[in-house]
Amino acid sequence: MTALTFPCTVFTTQRKMNDRAAADMRYGDLTASQLRKRYSLTDVSETVDPYSGVRLTPFNLPQSRFFRSHAVKNAGTCSYQVCAQLLFDEMRSLSWPFSIYSPYRQLINKMIDHMQYADGTPFSDAALDMALRNQLLEDNSDDSSLKAIRETINRYVDYAKGIYPKKHLPHFNNNIQDMILPKFVRKEDNFNGLGITIHDIYAVQINILSLEVKNDRWVARVQYLAQDHFG
């Protein structure tokens, strides 16, 4: 009987890691007219009109009780760079009610900063790693993917030979794909910073780094790699 060797990938989502061709990774492919007409993105900011660069005040916001139709003619305009800065600052300001406490509350500002200044490079943070780890360990539901891995090993491990048989590798994928993969959609995620920064996860890869079998016990090291697309 051939033993499965480690490290070993036991599950990957259909959506791939590092997929820069994904639909939500595209940018600059819609015109201003399409944004307005197809997606109704007209009043997108209370600070500046991104289409014209006109600075906004309570007097030229249609939803404001101080609105005056002639005020737009007298409002100042700003450059593309200043307009972008105003929009990013507004995003930071509007995000704080969704990240008011927890060790993860600074993540949203870090991710907005990265989106603004890092030119599309990948973002990672120890707090994100900790959030994923805690979510996995605290999930005691029947839909836990970690529970599925544990039960698969329990069922197919060969204690007599001290191995996990290679022929039973497909059972990991079959059992995990019926589970709910980690995501941040709990009630507390609405205000701990995880819902607004991550919410769902785009792609996941699960690896078993090592498996030691001794007597009637086993110990495994499991690695979850997860990616999402922000912005």
| Digit-coded pLDDT (tens) for 33-84 | 999 999 999 989 989 999 999 998 765 655 554 445 554 544 689 999 999 9
| Residue 118 predicted with pLDDT over 70 | yes
Q: Predicted confidence band at 160 (pLDDT cuts at 50, 70, 90)?
A: very high
Residue 43: what pLDDT?
87
Contacts of 93-100 with C-beta under 8 Å, sequence gap 24+, read 95/196, 97/191, 98/190, 98/191, 98/193, 98/195, 98/196, 99/191, 99/192, 99/193, 99/196, 99/197, 100/191
Overall average pLDDT of the 83-104 stretch: 93
Q: What is the mean pLDDT of the chain?
A: 90
pTM > 0.75: yes or no: yes
CB 8 within 8 A of CB 205: no
**DSSP single-letter state for residue 203:** E
Residue 218's pLDDT is 97
Can you give the pLDDT at residue 61? 56
Q: Identify the residue with better confidence: 70 or 3.
A: 3
Q: How far is 135 from 222, CA to CA, in rounded Å?
A: 14
pLDDT at 174: 96
Q: Which is higher by pLDDT, 94 or 66?
A: 94
pLDDT > 70: what percent of the chain? 92
Per-residue pLDDT reduced to its tens digit, 170-208: 999 999 998 999 999 999 999 999 999 999 999 999 999
